[in-house]
């Protein structure tokens, strides 16, 4: 199938459209939301607030994933790699839709700083993309592995009875591992240790802030 060639203006419009969709609209998942077979008993107020705050952090992570994959798809000149980034971005849209829905169910709101997170992640994604495909893929591997560990920590911190949130987080964790493996097999280069540390530090600031804001 032939690929439609976009002009620079078309590309800018497509990026703006993608950002507005990630930040403002109700995202549409292509897969049904994972559900637990175990009934979720009513959470008390403190549990619901805590689960909502953790879900807000996960939602911010998915907003950032939208921005990163969008920027990295834009930066590469390799059509196969662009397709791979766009396929992963599709699964990230599922995650965005599921976390949006779960936030509402928990009576929590998305982060007020989402435009800032999106813009920051987009800039970082462009930088990674400009560094070349192997580094860009290495960035995906490191990001997805960090998100996987982070989701694992949320499985430990979510209220034990919040099976609905746990079902989402477990599926997202499996998907992120798949994204990391796909990037590894596509020829990712391992990032230098200081870059990985900087990414971890940035992620810590984001997750600590998004719990409250
Ligand atoms: Fe995700
Ligand atoms: Fe991912």
Contact 112, 95 (CB under 8 A): no
CA–centroid distance, 175 to ligand 2, in Å, is 6
Report in angstroms the alpha-carbon separations of 197 from 73, 142, 145, 193, 200: 24, 10, 13, 6, 5
Return the SS3 of 22.
helix
Q: Is the dihedral of CA 58, 200, 206, 92 positive or negative?
A: negative
Q: Which ligand is nearest to the CA of 171?
A: 1
Question: Which ligand ends up closest to the CA of 96?
Answer: 1
- Give residues whose Cβ lies within 5 Å of ion ligand 1: 65, 92, 95
Distance 121 CA to ligand 2 centre (A): 14
Residue 91, both tokens: 């699964």
Q: How many CB atoms lie within 10 A of CB 101?
A: 17
Q: What is the pLDDT along the chain (213 residues), one digit of tens a residue?
A: 445 566 767 777 777 777 777 777 788 888 999 988 887 778 899 999 999 999 999 999 999 999 999 999 988 889 999 888 888 888 999 999 999 999 999 999 999 999 999 999 999 999 999 999 999 999 999 999 999 999 999 999 999 999 999 999 999 999 999 999 999 999 999 999 999 999 999 999 999 999 999
Q: How far apart are CA 28 and CA 47, in angstroms?
A: 28
Q: Which pLDDT does position 1 carry in this prediction? A: 44
- How much is the pLDDT for 6? 66
From ligand 2's centre to the CA of 46, what distance in Å?
A: 30
Longest dimension (CA), the chain: 54
Cβ atoms of 122 and 70 closer than 8 Å: yes
**DSSP H stretches of helix in the chain:** 8-24, 45-75, 79-105, 114-130, 133-157, 163-185, 193-212
102 C-alpha to ligand 1 centroid (Å): 14
């Amino acid at each position: 199938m032939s690929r439609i060639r976009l002009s620079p203006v078309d590309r800018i419009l497509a990026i703006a459209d993608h950002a507005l969709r990630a930040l403002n609209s109700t995202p549409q998942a292509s897969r049904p939301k994972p559900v637990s077979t175990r009934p979720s008993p009513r959470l008390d107020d403190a549990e619901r607030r805590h689960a909502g705050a953790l879900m807000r952090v996960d939602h911010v992570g998915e907003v950032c994933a939208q921005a990163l994959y969008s920027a990295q798809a834009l930066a590469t000149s390799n059509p196969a790699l662009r397709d791979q980034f766009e396929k992963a971005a599709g699964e990230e849209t599922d995650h965005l839709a599921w976390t949006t829905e779960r936030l509402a169910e928990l009576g929590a709101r998305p982060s007020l700083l989402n435009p800032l997170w999106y813009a920051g992640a987009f800039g970082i994604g462009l930088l990674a993309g400009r560094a070349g495909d192997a580094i860009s893929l290495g960035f995906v591997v490191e990001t997805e592995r960090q998100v996987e560990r982070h989701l694992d920590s949320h499985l430990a911190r979510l209220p034990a009875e919040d099976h609905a949130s746990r079902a989402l987080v477990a599926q997202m964790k499996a998907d992120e591992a798949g994204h990391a493996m796909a990037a590894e097999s596509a020829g990712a280069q391992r990032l230098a240790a200081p870059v990985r540390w900087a990414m971890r530090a940035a992620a810590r600031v984001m997750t600590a802030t998004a719990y409250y804001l």
